[in-house]
Amino acid sequence: MIRIEGLVKNYGAVEVLRGIDLEVPAGELFAYLGPNGAGKTTTIRILTGQTRLDRGSATLNGFCISREALSAKRQVGYVPQLNNLDRELSVYENMWIHGRLYHMECRTLKQRIPEMLEYVGMADQTAVLGKHLSGGFQRRLMIARALLHEPRILFMDEPTVGLDAGIRRRLWTLIKYIQENGTTIFLTTHYIEEAEFLAQRVAFLDEGRIQVIDSPKNLIARQGTWAIDRFSREHMETLYFNTRAAAESYNDHHDDRHTLRRVNLEDAFLALTGKRVK
């Protein structure tokens, strides 16, 4: 559904993307992870037609984004990092304008808008102005709007940023439901547990290059199963163990300050790049 080969993007003398290669099959939820400045948003901007690539190629559902830009854009729904709802328009009006921009017929919109608002749990809020919605419902509306024209691919650039943990987890359920209904999802996030919970595969991006692509389970298994974080005045050190018994045995012979926990996806990223995702 998504194919990228040798993707390069420069901003002046700064090489932001340095030859990205990846494929995302239909129906997959794919997470694209990396620290700030790694090139995540630039990749999404190129794939959604907002920024031109310098070298390489990319296709969306078989349409080349350089030669068949309009057809490629029709395959895409986009939930940006920043809230771009019209605050002075109602929920229904925000949806209607989006549909008309995609040349959807009025009779189709009259049927489709209630369906999508029901889908995201907002059927009773059609008349509410955008500025009066909570942060969680604003995100739900942005997702409903992105799905209105029935795209094959949904790009989500940090869709839960700034939301509290409870709302974030409710949106995870919605995102997973969308994917299970056949939509291919390309997700960026700074919440490492979000990728670990949602994604079938993740890519670790660092300094404009993909370091590895694999399932969260396989990437975590590279480090072990249990981790001990040792604290000192100067720094924190993390040690990894394949069994809890081995970790507890270490604890029995050391009395420094420490925390025992399970290995997570951020451990795998940190071990590979020396950096944290956030």
In a domain, 128, yes or no: yes
Residue 231 pLDDT: 82
Residues 22 and 120 grouped into a single domain? yes
In a domain, 267, yes or no: no
Give the list of residues 6+ apart from residue 199 with CB closer than 8 angstroms, or none.
29, 30, 31, 187, 216
Residue 166 pLDDT: 87
Residue 278 pLDDT: 60
Residues 108 and 234 grouped into a single domain? no
Residues 183 and 239 grouped into a single domain? no
Residues 170 and 191 grouped into a single domain? yes
In a domain, 204, yes or no: yes
In a domain, 270, yes or no: no
Residue 146 pLDDT: 96
Domain total in the chain:
2
Residues 235 and 212 grouped into a single domain? no
Residues 173 and 243 grouped into a single domain? no
CATH number at residue 72: 3.40.50.300
In a domain, 275, yes or no: no
Residue 276 pLDDT: 67
Residue 132 pLDDT: 97
Residues 64 and 27 grouped into a single domain? yes
Residues 170 and 250 grouped into a single domain? no
Residues 135 and 246 grouped into a single domain? no
- What are the mean pLDDT values of the chain's consecutive 10-residue runs (278 residues total)? 97 94 97 91 94 96 96 94 94 97 95 95 96 94 95 94 87 93 94 93 94 95 91 81 90 77 91 74
In a domain, 158, yes or no: yes
In a domain, 13, yes or no: yes
Residue 250 pLDDT: 84
Residues 229 and 131 grouped into a single domain? no
Domain containing 123: what range?
A: 2-218
Residues 126 and 25 grouped into a single domain? yes
In a domain, 271, yes or no: no
Residues 133 and 237 grouped into a single domain? no
